[in-house]
Amino acid sequence: MESFPTLARRVEENRPGRIPLRGPGGEPVDFRRVLASHGVATLPPNRIDESVWTLDREGVHVAERRGAATVEPVGAVPVVRRMLNLDEDLSGFYAVAAQDPELAWVTAGAGRMLRSPTVFEDVVKTICTTNCAWSATVRMVGGLVEHIGGGAFPTPEAMAAADEDVYREVVRAGYRGAYLRSLAAGAAEGAVDLEALLDPELGDDEVSARLLALPGIGPYAAAHVMMLVGRYSLLILDSWTRPQYARVNGRKASDRTIVRRFRRYGPYAGLAFWLYLTREWVPED
């Protein structure tokens, strides 16, 4: 006869995992705003359905129910916690944002950028956004997932082992192919430790320097990856954010002016800038 505690545990484990949508400081977490936090979040193998607000990926299903994220299977709870960035305390950011009439709304739970399960994946995807239209980014990442990862996001080992022809003829990554293979080889051999970029002991300048040392990562890509690993001191200034700022702001501004406007946010300047740009992305109910 099975003991009661064991049975109770089994019953509990068979229920979908539930993750309360609260940050470490008790801050609210807007689940929809995490799913719709940035464009890279929508790339394969992620599948985000904004009509019902669900996230599916590699057999994992995430939805929102009664103030919690529900996760199936339950074993995927740790990776989902990471993807939703639920362990970062944003209360310090909210304290500053509350004083800014343009951004006070974020304190309702905005600011968590959807992360990939590995930093490697976010770096690869970011490289695939450089110097090309969004449609090309979708094609390249789709090619990596389908033809190298077999439907999942490819491991560094698989990407390093893939032939150059695959990058040229299937992924159609163009000159980025060499960057991607080189990055993957470094990650596979352990020469580059991308997970270390999550180390809170590192300063933003150190994280930035390590990213800029990677093949194919320049100022834009470094700032983008940094936002995804919780480093917000740099603003993402590129061909999308500049005109988007002009649209939201009502008139154009130089990079210097933009940087000044968000200077009050200190280490959260990049996050404040991004949220300002994307404030219309998730309509209120």
Partner DNA sequence: CGTCCAGGTCTAC
Partner DNA sequence: GGTAGACCTGGACGC
CA neighbor of 229 nearest in space, from 177, 257, 271, 192: 271
Which strands sit side by side in the sheet containing 17-20, from one edge to the other? 17-20, 68-72, 60-65, 54-57, 47-49
Cβ-contact 261, 246 below 8 angstroms: no
Smallest separation, CB 70 to DNA (Å): 27
219 lines the binding site for DNA (CB under 7 A): yes
- Under the criterion CB under 7 A, does residue 115 sit at the interface with DNA? no
List, in sequence order, every residue forming a beta bridge with 71; answer none if it has no partner: 17, 62
Alpha helical stretches, state H, 112-154: 119-127, 134-143
53 versus 281: smaller Cβ distance to DNA: 281
Single out the residue of 35, 76, 173, 271 in contact with DNA (rule: CB under 7 A).
173
Sole residue written with tokens 């909210």: 94
Nearest Cα to Cα of residue 187 among 120, 137, 126, 142: 120
For residues 132 and 202, which CB has a smaller minimum distance to DNA in the complex? 132
β-partners of residue 64 are 69
127 contacts 217 by C-beta, under 8 angstroms:
yes
Nearer to DNA, 93 or 273 (CB): 273
- State the greatest distance between any 2 C-alpha atoms of the chain, in Å, as a whole number: 73
Q: Give the range of 24-32, 33-41, 151-159, 255-263 binding DNA by CB under 7 A.
A: 33-41
Q: Which of 211, 204, 253 is nearest to 231 (CA)?
A: 204
Interface with DNA: number of residues (CB under 7 A)? 34
Q: Which stretch binds DNA (CB under 7 A): 47-55, 94-102, 186-194, 209-217?
A: 209-217
Applying CB under 7 A, the span of 32-40, 102-110, 247-255, 261-269 interacting with DNA comes to 32-40
Residue 146 phi/psi, 5° resolution? Answer: -70, -45
Q: Which is nearer to DNA, 19 or 159 (CB)?
A: 159
If one asks whether residue 67 binds DNA (CB under 7 A), the answer comes out as: no
For the segment 124-163, give every residue that binds DNA (CB under 7 A).
129-136, 139
Binders of DNA in range 222-261 (CB under 7 A): 222, 224, 236, 238-241
Residues that bind DNA (CB under 7 A): 38-40, 129-136, 139, 168, 172-176, 212, 214-222, 224, 236, 238-241
